[in-house]
Structure 1
């Protein structure tokens, strides 16, 4: 199992690294930003997902369906559940920040340009971040870890692997002279830990990766285009305190973790009562 975990982790890191290399080359040749983003998305998913499929099929000798990725028609309710749940948690965080005096809602807009950008960004974010990350970490790696360590220890180990992936890639880029450590900050690591925990709890709670993908995708779009201190945002806000920004981006995820833990604990007690 150790080799399968390592190969699964390397599959994503290698895919992301190759995507970055190809995109840097495209940047040097003057490709527009949108084209670079599309390249990142296409290369990451087209390399990582097939490698994970091959590992699942030939190293694990297990069906792809065991990862919790149901066919999309049946997975659509879980996708919407994940997106809706994260949106609700964002709403709670925004309300709490407003009541605490950390956030002020300036205006609510519906700019056509922003809606168009969101429509364009959704498939890019899906194939660059949400889909390959969930298939790799909350799907393949967690499924293998759970067979040996159980759900909760597997969750912690998955978070460690999730955090170590961008750190390892950054280290490789720094060693190659094409990167810096600027992005690997304390805040970034804390966000990854919270985000990886919440996403894995979505998988444990629902048993379906589409909930993780919906949660992941909704968070990306909301923090980029919806609740933003800009007149191009759908909800234009002003952060009156640094805590306001943390509350929206990180607090909403932490609230989600608390809710998911509560639901999971309640369901386990209910199942125990039924067995008794």
Structure 2
């Protein structure tokens, strides 16, 4: 029996390989790609954490992530990029800023309380101009190296493929496991088994919150903004890589900022993105004929 035009399109657009294989290929390739970046940084490039090395690594991560998602989306999923949640124009800017605010607002409140109560002291050995310059530098580096590539892969590609086959709340948990495996593997390979539990908990918790924001907002840009705010603040205050910052207690700083933000970001996101939210019904990823 001959197929109708719509049926032929649906059949022709059917993914070439099963969902689990597609996700495993992309996540596994990302692990290999990021390990290659680390190897190049330690063997072929200068030692240390120079700006040039950081910038090269960032560009490589961006290229690898875009190539992985573009290739997998076209060859394995046979679906358009437009359904991943990457809107354009002012909508993207709005979602990115809202995502950043959903982390920055509670973190700022928590940090303010900790400093005012005397639980935490922070000293910055730099002028205002130098501090602003470093913040802008970190925004660019984190966006290119971590926030955009990782969110594109996990809250973009992986999450969207999962929601086509399962309830979105379950997709949030599954992509969180994938992200935790990705991040923890990189840290264990480069730093040793001593960081296993700490990083596993951190990456899983981070991915759950980011996944919920992805569901609430319907936008990958929102999670990019959230991820960007988190990483910039942590690197600015705890790494002292480009700016001399003294924090009296790393633990108190993490509790007052990251933990508070992790616990409240999804609630804030719910106020920033008002509208219906689908937590229970799979969302078919339909390919439209060209």
TM-score normalised per structure 2: 0.77
Equivalent residue number for residue 211 of structure 1: 222
Choose from 38, 45, 49 the match for 1:20.
38
Structure with the bigger percentage of helix: 1
| Equivalent of residue 166 in structure 2, options 149, 154, 178 | 149
Distance change >3 Å, CA 55–CA 37, structure 1 → 2: same
- Deviations 1:123-165 (CA, angstroms, capped at 9, x unpaired): 2111110011000000100111111121011100111000101
Q: Structure 2 CA distance, aligned partners of 1:37 and 1:227?
A: 17
Q: Is the 8 A contact 2:102 2:266 kept in 1?
A: no
Q: Larger deviation: 149-158 or 182-191?
A: 182-191
Cα gap change, 1:186 to 1:40, in 2 (>3 Å): same
1:164 counterpart SS class: helix
- Runs (5+) with no aligned partner, structure 1: 174-178, 270-276
Distance 1:222 1:160 in 2: 24
Partner of 1:11: 29
Offset of 1:58 from its aligned partner?
2.0
User: Could you say if the C-alpha distance between residues 80 and 244 of structure 1 is closer, same or farther in structure 2, counting changes exceeding 3 Å?
Assistant: closer
Gaps of 5+ in 2: 1-18, 279-290
1:255 is matched with 264
Paired with 2:59 and 2:211, the residues of 1 have a C-alpha distance of 24
User: Structure 1 pair 18/221, CA: closer, same or farther in 2 (3 Å)?
Assistant: same
SS for the counterpart of 1:91 is helix
SS of the counterpart of 1:148? Answer: coil
Q: Report the equivalent of 1:76.
A: 93
Deviation digits for residues 76-126 of structure 1 (CA, Å, limit 9, x no counterpart): 111111112211021222244357653356789862222222222222111
Q: What is the rounded CA distance, in whole Å, between the counterparts of 2:195 and 2:79 in structure 1?
A: 36
- Aligned counterpart for 1:136 among listed residues 130, 148, 153: 153
Matches within 5 A, 1:105-116: 111-116=128-133
Q: Distance in 1 between matches of 2:134 and 2:211?
A: 29
TM-score (norm 1): 0.80
CA radius of gyration, larger in: 2
2:15 maps to none
